[in-house]
Amino acid sequence: MADMDQFKRAIEKPVPIAPHTYLHFYNGGKLRAKFMGEKNPKDDFRSEEWFFSTNRAVTPGRENPPDKGFSRIYLPNKEVVLLHDLLKALPNECLGERHVARFGTKLGILVKIFDVGDDAHIPVHWHPSPAFSQKYLNDPYGKNEAWVVLDTRPGVKTWIGWKEDIDPKDFRKWLDAQDRDAMIAHMHEFVPKPRDIIFLRDSYAHSLGSGVCIMEPQEPTDWNILAEWEGFPFGKKDAACGLDWDTALGAVKFEKMPLDYLNGYVRRTPEVVRKEGKSVEEKLVPDEAKQYFDVKRFIVKGKLSMPGDQGFYCVCGISGKGTMKGPWGEAPLKRGKFYFMPRSLSQPYRLVSEGEKALEVMCFYPPTT
């Protein structure tokens, strides 16, 4: 483990996050690898990248070492260590006293990229609410989430919510028969596009078809109740998070999702909340999301000032090229470049674009404490 001197030096400026991916149960990864700047991107089951995480990933049918899913960082001496090691060494400096009082040395948020490859799909599934998780899974967190669409392939489709009220007895028949076609036939289908924003509350059934690459902030869990297991490397009980299915079905809404809710609330329209010259800051998720996480997008043409009272967060380069410039110096930004901004660096700084193309940056924040 790195010594304390290296940890203290690390948080004197934004902390660069190291790449970290692993084999998942569904195929994909080509668009994820392309976004990250990897050579020869391809679908090789490395379909997820948990780049801002203090959660362990457990993947059915794969090796699951104890540090799987935990984000890595670069120290000043170029050593790669777990972000969580830094947080444990300097909790108040990294996270702030209020966050530590509530969450300990964990982030209180998880952000990842996932990419569904050709001829693959993510099963029809849903995520438990915090109340359900607390009662049945011994965890205070559910999985409220947002999707930021990074890229797509031809023929991409996604499904969210039921078009009409569903009789649980009918759904149980589809479940037992592993009839995916019947499930998605009763769900709202739409074609996602790059830059689309989705805010999805817990308990709504959804599925993702091949060809979509998404950046996802969420509650810090990986609770997925999967209505499909046939053809995947897990069984019926594992698909229900180890619960019996009568209990697991209590975590999903069977009521209709109205179209005005889907198109007017779930599918988001970015709101410009600040302008500075030709640069803008966009609000992407509703205020309701702040109890779980917050996410903002910055489109920089020239420069844009950044406030210094935001606590800790993750800075993500989405497109273009530029730098962060502050009292701590400069840090380069481009697509696939991520930083942990510790609480101790709560000082104003600037985002500066380079070249004619705008610098696009997203920042992910923990829940309001």
Q: What is the pLDDT of residues 121-177, one digit of tens each?
A: 999 999 999 999 999 999 999 999 999 999 999 999 999 999 999 999 999 999 999
Average pLDDT on 103-119 reads 96
Q: Are residues 263 and 275 in the same domain?
A: no
Q: Are residues 298 and 178 in the same domain?
A: no
3-state secondary structure labels for all residues of the chain: CCCHHHHHHHCCCCEEEECCEECCCCCCCHHHHHHHCCCCCCCCCCCEEEEECCCCCCCCCCCCCCCCCCCEEECCCCCEEEHHHHHHHCHHHHHCHHHHHHHCCCCCCEEEEEECCCCCCEEEEECCCHHHHHHHHCCCCCCCEEEEEEEECCCCCEEEEECCCCCHHHHHHHHHHCCHHHHHHCEEEECCCCCCEEEECCCCCEEECCCEEEEEEECCCCCCEECCCCCCCCCHHHHCCCCCHHHHHHHCCCCECCHHHHHHHHEECCEEEEEECCEEEEECCCHHHHHCCEEEEEEECCEEEECCCCCCEEEEEEECEEEEEECCEEEEEECCCEEEECHHHCCCEEEEECCCCCEEEEEEECCCC
Average pLDDT on 210-237 reads 95
Domain ranges, residue 214 = 4-267
Span 266-298, pLDDT tens digits: 999 999 999 999 999 999 999 999 999 999 999
Residue 60 in this model has a pLDDT that exceeds 90: no
Average pLDDT on 19-28 reads 93
Confidence at 2, pLDDT banded by 50, 70, 90: confident
For residue 142, what pLDDT is reported?
96
- State the chain's mean pLDDT as an integer: 96
Residue 360 in this model has a pLDDT that exceeds 90: yes
Q: Are residues 310 and 192 in the same domain?
A: no
Q: Are residues 227 and 291 in the same domain?
A: no
Domain containing residue 105: CATH number: 2.60.120.10
Confidence at 183, pLDDT banded by 50, 70, 90: very high
Average pLDDT on 84-108 reads 96
Q: Are residues 252 and 303 in the same domain?
A: no
Q: Are residues 144 and 60 in the same domain?
A: yes
Q: Are residues 227 and 300 in the same domain?
A: no
Q: Are residues 78 and 193 in the same domain?
A: yes
Q: How many domains does the chain have?
A: 2
Examine the fold and report which residue of 212, 245, 267 is the final residue of a domain before the chain moves on: 267
Examine the fold and report which residue of 241, 267, 293 is the final residue of a domain before the chain moves on: 267
Confidence at 369, pLDDT banded by 50, 70, 90: low
Confidence at 1, pLDDT banded by 50, 70, 90: low
Predicted TM-score (pTM) of the model is 0.96
Examine the fold and report which residue of 205, 238, 267 is the final residue of a domain before the chain moves on: 267
Q: Are residues 258 and 324 in the same domain?
A: no
Average pLDDT on 12-23 reads 95
Q: Are residues 302 and 210 in the same domain?
A: no
